[in-house]
């Protein structure tokens, strides 16, 4: 029997994502001047206020207020009428030194013996239903909001958009788990005030359906374009007026959108957030590593869909174990346990090995903090960072290294494919 599956996304202007982006901007700035920085930064945003808290061990000093304000302005909160803008909001920092009791379990004389920064389990997932090996409903949800943000910044075809927005896509699947059609699309977008509420709702619905969605569809592969039809149920700003939004409308916290950040409810999640954590925290680094494994396994043809789990104990070098679930989609005679054993032989899952393999001590994290950490484009960009003393550093930074298909040949060789 056919079934429906739904995933959601939130924009860079959503209050929780504002918090994530500030936390990851701090991570990038610490790593730019001190690659060995240990950082766990949390951010709270609300009406006119930003609260920074967390633990840091670093040789560098940063103007955290300026970093927070620059991030907020870049997102688009630049007007006093939003009741939250980068130039006028208060920024309070309660960041302090990392506990030596935690640090002693992580740092070692031999870096290869670096212990895990915390206990826990992390999951990576990949499916061949999209070109980027991501679940389709989440991929479409992200694309809708990225395109909406482009329209907001262009300020040409749609001129009333504000930064906060959410999307949701429901897809009908066949019995054999293949996408058949899009059943429903939800888009809620913050907007400038209108003189007439009925005119406002009609205008926003028309623009979303006739301007936004066609732009999204035009950038999709043909297989995904075919899923769009005139029977899609659209719910556009279903509560009505959405002028009050962002941190003024809803308090935002770092790490509160972990399903949006990963697989939209497909696969599994270990519960740990990513943003604000340096790569010694396996919540982040091992989640990236398991995504890298799952994506390369699917790309190599080991299975059509794969979930990979790894688990750690704080301060312990080797993982507790590696688990693989191919959902019965492996085309040859290997059990999931046998696949997991081969995975442990191909991929070194010690924390320092993960950092080195994926180049995780680079300031690459600001770009991850909105529109998902997975399924993104691996590319190299040039970034410049500044310290309060006037020192600047310009770096070439490789982004989304865990999305590379650089282990496909090794996987094929190991599996005899």
Provide the annotated binding site for L-methionine: 55, 98, 250, 281
**Binding-site positions:** 14, 16, 42, 55, 98, 164-166, 241-242, 250, 256-257, 273, 277, 281
**Binding-site positions for K(+):** 42
Sequence-separated contacts (24+) of 44-47 with Cβ below 8 Å = 44/19, 44/251, 44/252, 44/253, 44/254, 45/15, 45/18, 45/19, 45/84, 45/247, 45/251, 45/252, 46/15, 46/84, 46/247, 46/248, 46/251, 46/252, 47/83, 47/84, 47/247, 47/248
- Choose among 121, 134, 116, 402: nearest CA to 271: 121
Q: Cα(5)–Cα(173) distance, rounded to whole angstroms? A: 8
The answer to whether residues 61 and 388 touch, using CB atoms and an 8 Å cutoff, is yes
Torsions phi, psi for 221 (to 5 deg): -65, 160
**Binding-site positions for ATP:** 14, 164-166, 241-242, 250, 256-257, 273, 277
Q: Cα(119)–Cα(282) distance, rounded to whole angstroms? A: 8
Q: Which residues pair with 103 in a beta bridge?
A: none
Q: Cα(89)–Cα(72) distance, rounded to whole angstroms? A: 10
Ramachandran area for residue 360 (φ above 0: left; ψ -120 to 50: alpha; else beta): alpha
Using CB atoms within 10 Å of the CB of residue 385, give its burial: 0 to 12 exposed, 13 to 18 middle, 19+ buried.
Answer: buried
- Choose among 45, 224, 56, 59: nearest CA to 140: 224
Token output for 355: 């950092």
**Binding-site positions for Mg(2+):** 16
Torsions phi, psi for 251 (to 5 deg): -60, 140
CB atoms within 10 A of CB 195: 6
């Amino acid at each position: 029997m056919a079934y429906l599956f739904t995933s959601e996304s939130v924009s860079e202007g959503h209050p929780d994502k504002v918090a994530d982006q500030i936390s990851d901007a701090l991570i990038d700035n610490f790593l730019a001047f001190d690659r060995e920085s240990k950082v766990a930064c949390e951010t709270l945003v609300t009406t006119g206020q930003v609260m920074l808290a967390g633990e840091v061990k670093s040789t560098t000093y940063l103007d955290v207020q300026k970093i927070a304000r620059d991030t907020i302005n870049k997102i688009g909160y630049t007007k006093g009428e939003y009741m939250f803008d980068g130039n006028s909001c208060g920024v309070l920092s309660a960041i302090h030194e990392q506990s030596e009791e935690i640090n002693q379990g992580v740092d070692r004389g031999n870096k290869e013996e670096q212990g895990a920064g915390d206990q826990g389990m992390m999951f990576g997932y990949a499916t061949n239903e999209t070109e980027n090996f991501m679940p389709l409903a989440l991929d479409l949800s992200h694309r809708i909001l990225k395109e909406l943000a482009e329209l907001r910044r262009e300020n040409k075809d749609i001129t009333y958009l504000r930064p906060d927005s959410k999307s949701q896509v429901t897809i009908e699947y066949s019995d054999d788990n293949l996408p058949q059609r899009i059943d429903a699309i939800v888009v809620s977008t913050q907007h400038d005030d209108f003189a007439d509420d009925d005119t406002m709702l009609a205008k926003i619905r028309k623009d979303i359906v006739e301007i936004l969605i066609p732009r999204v569809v035009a950038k999709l592969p043909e297989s995904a374009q075919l899923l769009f039809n005139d029977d899609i149920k659209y719910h556009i700003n279903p509560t009505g007026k959405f002028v009050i939004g962002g941190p003024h409308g809803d308090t935002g916290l770092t790490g509160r959108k972990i399903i949006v950040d990963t697989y939209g409810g497909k696969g599994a999640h270990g519960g740990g957030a990513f943003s604000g954590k340096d790569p010694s925290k396996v919540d982040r680094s091992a989640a990236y590593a398991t995504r890298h494994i799952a994506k390369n396994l699917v790309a190599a043809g080991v299975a059509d869909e794969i979930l990979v789990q790894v688990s750690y104990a704080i301060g312990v070098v080797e993982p507790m174990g590696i688990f693989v679930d191919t959902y019965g989609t492996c085309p040859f005679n290997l059990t999931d346990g046998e696949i997991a054993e081969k995975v442990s032989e191909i991929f070194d899952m010690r924390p320092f090995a993960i950092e080195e393999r994926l180049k995780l001590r680079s300031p690459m994290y600001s770009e991850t903090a909105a529109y998902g950490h997975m399924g993104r484009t691996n590319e190299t960009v040039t970034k410049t960072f500044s310290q309060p003393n006037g020192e600047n550093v310009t770096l070439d930074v490789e982004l989304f290294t865990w999305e590379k298909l650089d282990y496909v040949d090794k996987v094929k060789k190991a599996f005899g494919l």
